[in-house]
């Protein structure tokens, strides 16, 4: 069950799924929009991605440490000598430092009262607590988690838990969506490589409906579609 102080799973558990009860709070309220409704890609998606990339590049600022901060608050980290592909930016372990509070507020349309990184040194996550409580009175939040795990095994693990796994064509990068038996989206995964992915989650559908969660995923995919 996802609560205001969500327990971040260890790698052994994460290789199977976000957790068997990951969205039980979501099951009890909000929209249950099917992923299929949003799975039609259009030329507009491609054009929007290109326009967004061009706009952010035109107004970005290079920092003293070599990072680049876009006008929307997103921070780009260039390839490093230890990484095999120097032509791409990377999603890094400091999720809160890269997917900053202003950036996530702009993309989600939410105001966050606090942004907190994972407390474990081996877990790469950021929790964005909204300014309002969820319908059940608990803290409401959006969660981003970076895992260095096999994406195909993660898909299989989600299916073992009874979830439907599908690709959403409106998200402009390699992805898969895990949907619960009741039709509610559990998590959305952005595949950055065979053994690296970023996942998007929320405390319940009272924070983001399925439609809003997918809309946020499309914006995130547009931003990091070329990242590794």
Q: What is the mean pLDDT of residues 163-181?
A: 97
CA–CA gap between residue 221 and residue 189 (Å, rounded): 10
**C-alpha to C-alpha distance for 174 and 162, rounded to whole angstroms:** 22
pTM: 0.73
Reference 142, options 6, 42, 15, 1; nearest CA is 6
Task: Give the residue carrying structure tokens 């319908």.
Answer: 135
Say what the pLDDT of residue 49 is.
Answer: 43
Q: Which position has the higher pLDDT, 24 or 178? A: 178
Round to whole Å and give the CA distance between 185 and 178: 6
Burial group, residue 143, by CB count within 10 angstroms (0-12, 13-18, 19+): buried
**Neighbour order of strands in the sheet with 61-62:** 61-62, 68-69, 75-76
Q: Where are the domains of the chain?
A: 11-224
- Per DSSP, 137 falls in state S
Q: What is the pLDDT of residue 120?
A: 82
- Cβ atoms of 68 and 60 within 8 Å: the answer is yes
Check residue 7 and give its pLDDT: 35
Integer CA distances (angstroms), 113 to 3, 93, 106, 132, 200, in order: 16, 22, 14, 8, 19
Does position 23 have pLDDT exceeding 80, yes or no?
no
Average pLDDT over residues 27-52: 36
The alpha carbon dihedral of 224, 144, 37, 107 has a sign of: negative
Q: Are 91 and 198 in contact (CB under 8 A)?
A: yes
Question: pLDDT (tens digit, 9 = 90+) per residue, 80-137?
Answer: 656 666 667 889 999 999 999 999 999 999 999 999 999 887 889 999 999 877 777 7
Sign of CA dihedral 6, 23, 124, 10: positive
What's the pLDDT at 109? Answer: 94
Region 145-152: mean pLDDT is 96
126 has which bridge partners? 117, 144
């Amino acid at each position: 069950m996802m609560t205001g102080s969500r327990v971040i799973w260890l790698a052994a558990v994460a290789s199977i799924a976000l957790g068997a009860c990951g969205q039980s709070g979501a099951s009890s309220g909000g929209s249950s929009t099917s992923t299929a409704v949003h799975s039609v890609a259009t030329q507009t998606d491609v054009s929007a991605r290109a326009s967004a990339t061009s706009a952010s590049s035109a107004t970005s600022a290079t920092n003293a440490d070599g990072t680049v901060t876009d006008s929307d608050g997103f921070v780009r980290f260039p390839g490093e000598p230890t990484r095999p592909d120097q032509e791409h930016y990377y999603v890094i372990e400091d999720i809160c430092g890269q997917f900053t509070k202003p950036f996530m507020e702009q993309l989600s349309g939410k105001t966050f009262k606090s942004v907190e990184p994972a407390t474990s040194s081996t877990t790469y996550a950021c929790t964005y607590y909204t300014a309002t409580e969820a319908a059940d009175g608990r803290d409401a939040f959006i969660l981003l988690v970076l895992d260095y795990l096999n994406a195909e095994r993660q898909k299989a693990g989600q299916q073992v838990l009874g979830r439907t796994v599908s690709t959403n064509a409106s998200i402009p990068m390699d992805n898969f969506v895990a949907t619960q038996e009741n039709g509610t989206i559990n998590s959305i995964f952005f595949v950055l490589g065979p053994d690296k992915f970023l996942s998007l989650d929320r405390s319940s559908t009272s924070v983001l409906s399925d439609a809003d969660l997918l809309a946020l995923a499309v914006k995130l995919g547009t931003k990091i579609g070329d990242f590794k």
